[in-house]
Structure 1
Amino acid sequence: MVEPLPRTPEGVELRHLRAFVAVAEELNFGRAAQRLYLTQPALSRTIRSLEKLVGCDLFHRNTRSVGLTPAGTALLDRTRDVLAGLDSALTAARAAGGALSARMDRLWSPVEETFNGDLTPMRSAFELMHAQFPIPEGVLLEPVNAGGVPGIQLARPEDSETVAVYAHGGGFMMGSAYGYRGMAGAVADAGHTRVLVPEYRLAPEHPFPAARDDVCTAYRWLLDCGRPPESIALVGDSTGAMLILSALLHARECGLPMPRATVLLCPAVDFYAPADDPPADAEQHMRFQTAYLAGRPVSDPEANPMCADLTGLPPTLVQSGEFDGLGRNTDALVERLRAADVAVRHDSYPVDGHAFQIYWSFHPEAAEAIGQVGDFLQKPAPVTP
């Protein structure tokens, strides 16, 4: 019986193990070096380094032959298993990642195909995409009138302590409260909270400040209903995150108390000036911007939180995707929040896709992100630097 080491010696790397297996299989340093595209001296140094890390000789060497020592024989099969397992894991990860990305693309492509066309098909495609996302089992939906703003509320029957106002994304021109029932339900389920989704008015029929005012009205309604501000959170994804920030700033100017927490999911929180490097689908995103601003300058701090004073905002969780082209200003937003002495936590996920959290029902990183949202809504105080 071989006594296991208490832990893998520090410093052992994959290059050591691959070099060891190559030499063990070839029993010739020259052929093994060619197989690994290394020089023979470099390979010899790698093997000597591994032997030093393991603490014993792995090969018998002389001028005519190379052979495995008992220690080398004991290591070989186990190392093959390690490398095979790693290769299998990486293959599975690539396959899963490709399958997940393909599934996300299949859901999003019908929406993207309507860009730069008529507004009605674009809105319909966006609703049809969101209709494919389920409401978590046990989460109930009911209509609500939030101070004159229609909407829906989702919760489990026992969840009532905290309520989150959720502003959906959609470029200010698409989306609906009912359409976002799956995403809002996921937040309600993860956070054991009620989620109120106001049916805010959309551009171009209702440009700024209509959507912001509707979100702010829903928040004020909760306060008027006797909800203490420490039991309320504000959540938004994509352009909905911009609405959340704008509503908070407007509430601050109106003298309303701040809620307990804010969550910004893949925030699309900046507008594009003509001199900017345009994002993908630049023409469509400029269409969103133009419809929402309706002639206001991109630097208007009321409409663009990136140009506003952000002091006094509540603890904030920001989530972003590392490969989200529309999240180019997320780091700048986080820095602005920190400069304004806002307690902010920024979680970045290795995901390719904007507002990836909406895919929570099948995407592991999205599900993890929603879980973190739920934890933050329950305990927003601990904030990482």
Structure 2
Amino acid sequence: MTESGLGAVVDLLRASPLDMGGDPRAMRLVFDEMIASHPVPEDVRTTAERLGGVPALAVTAGDAEPSGTVLYFHGGGYALGSAAASVNLAADIARRSRTTVHTVEYRLAPENPFPAAVDDALAAYRGLLERGVPAETITVSGESAGGGLALALLVALKESELPQPAAAVVLSPWADLTQSGRSHRTKAAVDPALTRRALTVRADDYLAGADPRSPLASPLFADLRGLPPLLVQAGTYEVLLDDALRLAAKAADDDVAVTLRTFPGAPHVFQGFAAVVAEGARALDDVAAFLRTHLDGR
């Protein structure tokens, strides 16, 4: 599709009953109902598992034999979403990149505030290593809050002196829980999914009084030196655009190999609509090519 395809997605998101700043228990039901309306393709296979004691789903798709691993973190403002709800997007990545994607059921706020999600991410990564999966065959990815969590995991790995994965991919990452990005103002009128108010509510629930500038909560403020090659994607119709732009600049300043790609007119996590929007499909093709480059180049 062309611009009209993205426009239809923007309209769909504007009409959605999901309120990212609403009561998390009620919004979890709305979120799950929305996801359930999109059936999982027949070539997708999921297996329940535990990684380092943390629940997860191993996802494969297509006919190709998987080669390489993606540790994936779903979005939802650290309060919504689930591993099961992320299967379609995880499967798209698995199919295109010929990998097994392990999507993690990390604990959610407000019941389990920071740093519970980071602890779970680190435990899941350790779980892969304990299975004998070499770090150089692992990549890390996530969307929205899950993108922020993927970045926090990389920082936590550095602090724990554990081996870094081969590469990382973050889609529309929420990397700054202070909401200090300029795009919270400049993109407020065009973002159909997120508002600064909603993100502030979710950040307060997640942080529960912790410093929003903590590197493990807001990786934008972390020392990123020593992190693996990074691919950052974002749409230009989202209030988190500046999180992506500033993250890429910070990574480059910290001598991280970083690739940034923005998609004009695309809303938050538009990759989830890859089945009907050409920009989403192209974005995921870029994700797959990036992952394969770093997995095959080891």
Letter in 1 for 2:281: A
Q: For the structure 1 residues 110 and 220, does the alpha-carbon distance in structure 2 shift closer, same or farther, using more than 3 Å as the test?
A: same
Equivalent position to 2:260, from 337, 340, 346:
346
The corresponding residue for 1:336 is 250
Please report how far the alpha carbon of residue 351 of structure 1 lies from its aligned counterpart in structure 2 after TM superposition: 3.0
Kept in 2, the 8 Å contact 1:319–1:347? The answer is yes
Q: Deviations over 1:234-253 (max 9, x none)?
A: 00111111101111111111
Please report how far the alpha carbon of residue 300 of structure 1 lies from its aligned counterpart in structure 2 after TM superposition: 1.6
| 3-state SS, counterpart of residue 110 of structure 1 | coil
Q: Deviations over 1:80-116 (max 9, x none)?
A: xxxxxxxxxxxxx8xx52354224432563244x344
| 3-state SS, counterpart of residue 140 of structure 1 | strand
Kept in 1, the 8 Å contact 2:135–2:164? The answer is yes
Equivalent position to 1:139, from 44, 47, 52:
44
The corresponding residue for 1:253 is 159
The corresponding residue for 2:133 is 227
Superposed, 1:36-51 pairs within 5 Å as: none
The corresponding residue for 1:150 is 55
Q: Distance in 2 between matches of 1:164 and 1:379?
A: 14
Superposed, 1:25-44 pairs within 5 Å as: none
Kept in 1, the 8 Å contact 2:235–2:265? The answer is yes
Q: For the structure 1 residues 98 and 211, does the alpha-carbon distance in structure 2 shift closer, same or farther, using more than 3 Å as the test?
A: same
Q: Distance in 2 between matches of 1:347 and 1:218?
A: 28
Equivalent position to 2:212, from 275, 298, 302:
298
Please report how far the alpha carbon of residue 378 of structure 1 lies from its aligned counterpart in structure 2 after TM superposition: 0.8
Q: Distance in 2 between matches of 1:159 and 1:215?
A: 26
Q: For the structure 1 residues 381 and 99, does the alpha-carbon distance in structure 2 shift closer, same or farther, using more than 3 Å as the test?
A: closer
Please report how far the alpha carbon of residue 306 of structure 1 lies from its aligned counterpart in structure 2 after TM superposition: 1.2
Q: Deviations over 1:338-370 (max 9, x none)?
A: 111111111111233111111111110001111
Q: Distance in 2 between matches of 1:238 and 1:116?
A: 14
Q: TM-score, normalised by structure 1?
A: 0.70
Q: For the structure 1 residues 137 and 274, does the alpha-carbon distance in structure 2 shift closer, same or farther, using more than 3 Å as the test?
A: closer
| 3-state SS, counterpart of residue 233 of structure 2 | strand
Aligned-pair identity in percent equals 36
Q: Distance in 1 between matches of 2:207 and 2:125?
A: 23
Kept in 1, the 8 Å contact 2:107–2:120? The answer is yes
Letter in 1 for 2:35: H
List alignment gaps of at least 5 residues for structure 2: 189-194
Structure whose residues are more often helix by fraction = 1
Q: Which of the two has higher C-alpha Rg?
A: 1
Q: For the structure 1 residues 134 and 307, does the alpha-carbon distance in structure 2 shift closer, same or farther, using more than 3 Å as the test?
A: same
Letter in 2 for 1:228: P
Please report how far the alpha carbon of residue 207 of structure 1 lies from its aligned counterpart in structure 2 after TM superposition: 0.6
Equivalent position to 1:118, from 15, 19, 23:
23
Superposed, 1:175-254 pairs within 5 Å as: 175-254=81-160
Please report how far the alpha carbon of residue 151 of structure 1 lies from its aligned counterpart in structure 2 after TM superposition: 1.2
Q: Distance in 2 between matches of 1:263 and 1:275?
A: 21
Letter in 2 for 1:351: G
Q: Distance in 2 between matches of 1:277 and 1:347?
A: 16
Q: Distance in 1 between matches of 2:162 and 2:203?
A: 28
Q: Distance in 1 between matches of 2:283 and 2:5?
A: 19
Letter in 1 for 2:220: M
Equivalent position to 1:130, from 35, 42, 65:
35
Kept in 1, the 8 Å contact 2:168–2:229? The answer is yes
Q: Distance in 2 between matches of 1:290 and 1:375?
A: 37
Q: For the structure 1 residues 340 and 117, does the alpha-carbon distance in structure 2 shift closer, same or farther, using more than 3 Å as the test?
A: closer
The number of equivalent residue pairs is: 288
Kept in 1, the 8 Å contact 2:6–2:266? The answer is no
| 3-state SS, counterpart of residue 289 of structure 1 | helix
Q: Deviations over 1:175-207 (max 9, x none)?
A: 000011101000000100000001000000001
Q: Deviations over 1:108-163 (max 9, x none)?
A: 63244x34433222111112222233434422111111121111111146533201
Q: Distance in 1 between matches of 2:283 and 2:129?
A: 28
Superposed, 1:32-111 pairs within 5 Å as: 96-107=2-13, 109-111=15-17
Letter in 1 for 2:122: C
Matched, 1:370 2:275: no
Q: Deviations over 1:252-282 (max 9, x none)?
A: 1111100001001111211236898855422
Kept in 1, the 8 Å contact 2:72–2:103? The answer is yes
The corresponding residue for 2:173 is 267
Q: Distance in 2 between matches of 1:345 and 1:275?
A: 20
Letter in 1 for 2:152: S
Letter in 2 for 1:211: A
The corresponding residue for 2:199 is 285
Q: Distance in 2 between matches of 1:155 and 1:111?
A: 31
Letter in 2 for 1:127: D
Q: Distance in 2 between matches of 1:277 and 1:99?
A: 23
List alignment gaps of at least 5 residues for structure 1: 1-92
Kept in 2, the 8 Å contact 1:159–1:194? The answer is no
Q: For the structure 1 residues 99 and 263, does the alpha-carbon distance in structure 2 shift closer, same or farther, using more than 3 Å as the test?
A: closer
The corresponding residue for 2:231 is 317
